[in-house]
Amino acid sequence: MNIEEFREFGKASVDYIADYFENIRNVEVISNVEPGYLKNELPEKVPDIGEPWQQVLQDVDKLIIPGFTHWHSPHFHAYFPTANSFPGVVGELFLSGLGSLSKNWETNPACVELEVRMVDWLGKILGLPEEFLNSSNGPGGGVIQNAASESTLVGLLTGKHRTIRNVLRDNANLSEGKIMFKLVAYTSKESNSSVEKAGLLASVPMRLLPTDKHGSLRGHTLEEAIKKDKESGLIPCCVVATLGTTGTCAFDNLEELAKICSREGIWLHVDAAYAGAAFACPEYRYLMKGVEDVDSFNFNPHKWMLVNSDCSVMWFKNTKDVEKAFKVKSTLPKIPTFEPEIEHWQIPTSRRFRALKVWFVLRTYGVEGIQRHIRKQIGLAKFFEELALNDDRFEVCTSSMGLVCFRLKGEDRLTQNLLDRISRRKKIFLMPYYFGDSFSIRFVICSRFTEKEDILFAWREITSQLGDGAPTNDALREKWLKNEEEKRKNVTGDFLNTLPAGINENVK
Ligand code: PLP
């Protein structure tokens, strides 16, 4: 492909993506394809002769889009948001277009220096203590990792290494192998599965501790578990606390956990993958009280802060710890000319120029734009919560940030059947969650295109599928659904006026 063809292909692709977003509200959020749908559509081997790009682009439309889940549809309410914004898309285009990788400062000064500054910008947006920033005079600092899962693994490995060093220092008669065999780590049973996986990868048993009834890991639970393990001769090395659990967006009690970890010399890593972005709004920072005492902290701008994947930021209070754990002599020798040497704070040898897309997003949105995005999405979730609370048939199990867990009153079977019917219709995308012992449905504000009318659309869809008295005959059922939808429209019309002041403003 020559430069002229690249220009044409690139422009046509940007137009394609712009059209895609222009029509996103009209596409069905989940596809209708059956497993294996692509098998017969794609040749089994690479074409012998290269094809024109127009053909490739046509096949995106013909083959890929039909099997695509539209994560940015305003009707996507599953999982968590996966960030997307136009400056983020262009940032990705640039970092891939310029095609530069960096290993250390010498291999690409702009890449390393922009990253060092962007991580500080992000730390300041969240209100992290000064000592975590690259610009602090101390040993703290941060770096962009690929994912929250990877950050958790890095935190755990660093904590494991620090514990081994400390135990060896105090017990000259113990060998490293013997210590490793005794290490143990803790998290809550509500933490993301990636935390348990980090334990597997690091060969450290990860205890999944019970939470309180709000899904929060409390200090006394951790304290009891540590005491029991120490009595059995085990050595606690790491705690992974979650700020914003995947199931219900619950917050562990960081202040309580941090006190215990500081006293016991246990590495405390914070996984704030989704909810960390909310700390851009000062009114939510009380949820990270105790953060000054943690050892590492991670959140994903690629979830809720408009930076396209991949972009997961991790800060250390003392980067010397991670360097001691990870630093090895480079294959190709170099003379260090720049501090910090962020290449030692990560698993891969090289890094993508992710800082570029962070720069594009933060400059075009500004702090105010980021805050508006977060507050708007929380306002929309509140709006959904009010709809559920004002309907006698439903109960709200939890509501936190942009996530509401709700269920039908009564037996689980009713909510399961409801979700089943909604899922089969594919108008909105929802996921189940067991809240305590009860089956519930998670409703998350994910797309940045979601507006108030989309919440009403979702609510009408949900309530139209309650099933009570719905005819089984297809034609009659359609008529009945239309009728139900009309009824629901009227109810929500009146209902809007009864909402507490502030909610409507939040979602404008
Ligand atoms: N931690 C939490 C709390 C999450 O909700 C998720 C994903 O949703 C993860 C970690 C995993 O994130 P990543 O895909 O960046 O590894």
Q: Is 325 in the pocket of ligand 1 (CB under 6 A)?
A: no
**CB neighbourhood size of 493 (10 A):** 10
Q: Is 308 in the pocket of ligand 1 (CB under 6 A)?
A: no
Element (H, E) at 267: strand 267-271
CA distance 177 to 179: 5
Nearest atom within ligand 1 for CA of residue 79:
8
Q: Is 149 in the pocket of ligand 1 (CB under 6 A)?
A: yes
- Spell out the residues 6+ positions from residue 134 whose beta carbon is closer than 8 angstroms to its own: 116, 117, 119, 120, 140, 141, 142, 340
Mean pLDDT in residue range 271-281? 98
pLDDT in tens, 32-73: 999 999 999 999 999 999 999 999 999 999 999 999 999 999
pLDDT in tens, 456-486: 999 999 999 987 544 444 555 566 556 655 6
Question: Above 80 in pLDDT, residue 273?
Answer: yes
Question: Above 50 in pLDDT, residue 508?
Answer: no
Can you give the three-state secondary structure of 413-477, one letter per residue? Answer: HHHHHHHHHHHHHCCCECEEEEECCEEEEEEECCCCCCCHHHHHHHHHHHHHCCCCCCCCCHHHH
Query: What per-residue confidence (pLDDT) applies to 18?
Result: 97
Element (H, E) at 193: helix 193-201
Question: Above 70 in pLDDT, residue 499?
Answer: no
Read off the pTM.
0.90
Rg (CA), the chain: 25
Mutate to test the pocket of ligand 1, among 190, 196, 271 (most ligand atoms within 8 A of CB): 271
- Three-state DSSP state, 387: helix
Query: What per-residue confidence (pLDDT) applies to 279?
Result: 98
Burial category of 219 from C-beta neighbours within 10 Å (exposed 0-12, middle 13-18, buried 19 and up):
middle
CA distance 245 to 350: 30
Which residues sit opposite 102 in a β-bridge?
A: 351
Query: What per-residue confidence (pLDDT) applies to 474?
Result: 52
Contact predicate 315/140, CB 8 Å: yes
Q: Is 273 in the pocket of ligand 1 (CB under 6 A)?
A: yes
Query: What residue has token string 């979830």?
Result: 303
Query: What per-residue confidence (pLDDT) applies to 503?
Result: 38
Q: Is 194 in the pocket of ligand 1 (CB under 6 A)?
A: yes
Query: What per-residue confidence (pLDDT) applies to 484?
Result: 52
Query: What per-residue confidence (pLDDT) applies to 500?
Result: 38
- Spell out the residues 6+ positions from residue 276 whose beta carbon is closer than 8 angstroms to its own: 126, 243, 244, 297, 298, 299, 300, 304
Query: What per-residue confidence (pLDDT) applies to 502?
Result: 42
Mean pLDDT in residue range 487-491? 49
Question: Above 90 in pLDDT, residue 172?
Answer: no
Mutate to test the pocket of ligand 1, among 156, 251, 274 (most ligand atoms within 8 A of CB): 274
CA distance 398 to 55: 49
Ligand 1 center–CA 352 separation, angstroms: 20
Query: What per-residue confidence (pLDDT) applies to 471?
Result: 46
Query: What per-residue confidence (pLDDT) applies to 482?
Result: 63
**CB neighbourhood size of 343 (10 A):** 21
- Least confident span in 86-100, 251-265, 333-347, 372-386: 333-347
- Pick 501 or 111 by higher pLDDT: 111
Query: What per-residue confidence (pLDDT) applies to 483?
Result: 62
Ligand 1 center–CA 152 separation, angstroms: 10
Mean pLDDT in residue range 253-278? 98
Question: Above 60 in pLDDT, residue 328?
Answer: yes
Nearest atom within ligand 1 for CA of residue 272:
3
- pLDDT band with cut points at 50, 70 and 90 for residue 501: very low
